[in-house]
Structures are given as structure tokens and as C-alpha cells.
Amino acid sequence: MKIGLIGFNIGPASGADAVDVAQQAEAIGVESIWTFEHVMIPLDYQSKYPYTADGKMGVPPETNMIDPLIGLTAVAAATKTLRLGTGVNILPQINPLLLAKQAASLDFISSGRLMLGVGIGWLEEEFDAMGVSFKARGRRHDDYIEAMRKVWSGEVVEHESEHISWHGFKSYPVPVQDPLPIVIGGSKGKAFERIAKYAQGWYAPTADIAQLQKEMGSLADACAAIGRDPSEIEVSTMWIPQAEPDSAQAFADAGVGRLIVPMAALAGMGSSPVEQVQRFGDEVMTKFT
């Protein structure tokens, strides 16, 4: 079982300790480190976050949230084996050519360690602030993935669609990994259809084993509909080891390949994020070696 940590770019772990946190994670055998993304957090919003009962994301507007690709670039320069995941970036609100360039560059300088997690987004107020339409974001998300793959191919790019008009150019460097792993997050709407069609990985937004088992069935159905083997899709899910310390095997039996622990869940393990990760290594990671 692979073990990841998420949230090194947010809150207490996002400051001067961020690189130290990543280096400590690598030292204790953590396989990957993951980021959250929001460009801004409104003081108030009507949009409903789909994964909490109250529809709120759970962090105040004053929360430090380092840009994921900038944070992961700093980590890439200071580590050797740690894989670098975005969990997830909001694809339809960004220029896809710029993101394709940034992702390829990060994969290139990290010697092939990026996992580009993407989702369609839910916070309409953020789209408004970015000057991007919230409508049709699902169609743009899918179109952008197809178009970015062409950029990463190293071939001449030709892509004409409802949202993009790209012709007669190349963009280098190309990613080291072929394909560059796309990880799609979420379980609402057409998430499973998108995962089956476009992704190498699924980021499941749950730590509930019963919920996950149900959703694995939905993923299998979506794969069957297009003739894809669901075992080709690496499944990552949230894990709170203190809540269910012996549940790792159940997740593995359900088909999960990676358990991702929120940094916030380590808050009681030390006075600093680095100490918390070190203790996590002593108390949890030793069970996986």
C-alpha cells in the first residue's frame, strides 16, 4: 500500500517548513505528497461544497494556500523519490495551454514524478473572480484534457473545438512520463465516466470504506461501458489512521492502491508539522515496512 500526505501547501505546513515537511515525509517512506487548490476563498459564498453536510469547505479565507505547482516545484528541487500530486487542481478555470506547459515542466525537472490531479470545480464565485464562465465547465474540463495530451505528445498540435483553437505549434519540454498520469477527483455527476475515459487514477474524496466500496462499483460500471479494465486506474482515497488504525487492509481488499492522510489529522502528533510527520513515521509508517 502506498501512503501519501495531503495539505502541505495549506495552513501551518505551508510556510517556511513546507520543504522540511516534504523531506521528512520522504525520509519516513511516504510515497507521495499532495496539494489542495483554491486561488481565493470568498468571505461568503452561495456555492455548495459537495462533500460536507453544511456545504462549506472548512477553511477560513485567511488560510494560507500556496499555489500547488509552485509548492511542488520547491519540493521537487529538495527531494529525490517523493511523488508530487495535485489533489486536485481546478482545470476549467485555468488556461489549458499554460497548465500543460507548467505540468510538463514540473514533470521534466522532477525526473517524472508528477501526478496531475484535476477536477471540474464547484465554487462559482471563484470562477467569477478568475473571469471564467462557470457554465459548461464539465465540457471544458474534458476538452482541455484531450487538448493537453496533444501538447504533451511533442508532435505538432492541432486542436479545434468549441473551447480551443490551437494550430501549428509545438511545446517543449514534454513530460518524462508517457502518459503523464491524470488523476481525476470526485464522485459526483459524471465523475466516473470521466475517470474511465481520461484518467490513470481516481482520487476518491472519502475515508468511509463502505462508501468507497459502493463507488468502486460505479467506477467498474463506467469502465465496462467503454470496455476499459478498471484495474488500469490507480485508486487513491483519504485515510484517517487514528480513526481506523486497522482499516488499511480493508481498503486494499477494496482495490485501493494509495491511502492519503490529511496533514490536519496529524495535528496532535507534535508542536510543528515536521515533528508531526516524524511521529507519523514512528507510529504509522513502520507498520507498512
- Residues 243-283 pLDDT 10s: 777 899 999 999 999 999 999 999 989 999 999 999 999 99
pLDDT of residue 289 exceeding 80, the answer is no
Find all residues with CB under 8 Å of 29, minimum gap 6, and list them.
3, 281, 285, 288, 289
Q: Which of 242, 246, 220, 241 lies closest to 231 in space, CA to CA?
A: 220
Secondary structure class of 241 (helix, strand, coil): coil
- Which region among 30-44, 109-123, 159-173, 236-250 has the lowest average model confidence (pLDDT)? 236-250
- Residue 243 has a pLDDT of 77
Spatial CA neighbour of 195 closest among 166, 226, 173, 174: 226
Q: Which of 75, 48, 45, 79 is nearest to 61 (CA)?
A: 45
Name the band, by pLDDT with cuts 50, 70 and 90, for residue 288.
confident
Residue 109, helix vs strand vs coil: helix
Among 14, 31, 107, 143, residue whose Cα is nearest residue 68: 14
CB-CB contact of 261 with 5 (8 Å): yes
CA 242 to chain centre: 23
Residue 125 carries which side chain, given as an amino acid letter? Answer: E
- CB-based contacts of 228, cutoff 8 Å, min separation 6: 196, 197
Q: Which residues of 138-171 are buried (b: 16+ CB within 10 A; e: fewer)?
A: bebbbbbbebbebbbeeeebebeeeebebeeeeb
- CATH architecture of the domain 2-288 equals Alpha-Beta Barrel (3.20)
Q: Residue 14: what pLDDT?
A: 84
At 6 the three-state DSSP class reads: strand
- Are the beta carbons of 170 and 190 closer than 8 angstroms? no
Nearby residues of 131 by Cβ (< 8 Å), 6 or more positions away? none
- Residue 102's pLDDT band, with cuts at 50, 70 and 90, is very high
> Above 80 in pLDDT, residue 3?
yes
Tens of pLDDT along 37-59?
Answer: 999 999 999 999 999 999 999 89
Query: pTM for the full model?
Result: 0.96
The amino acid at 23: Q
From the number of C-beta atoms within 10 Å of its C-beta (0-12, 13-18, 19+), residue 85 rates as buried
Kindly indicate the confidence band of residue 242, based on its pLDDT and cuts at 50, 70 and 90.
confident
| Measured distance CA(214)–CA(233) in Å, rounded | 16
Residue 36 C-alpha cell reads as 489542495
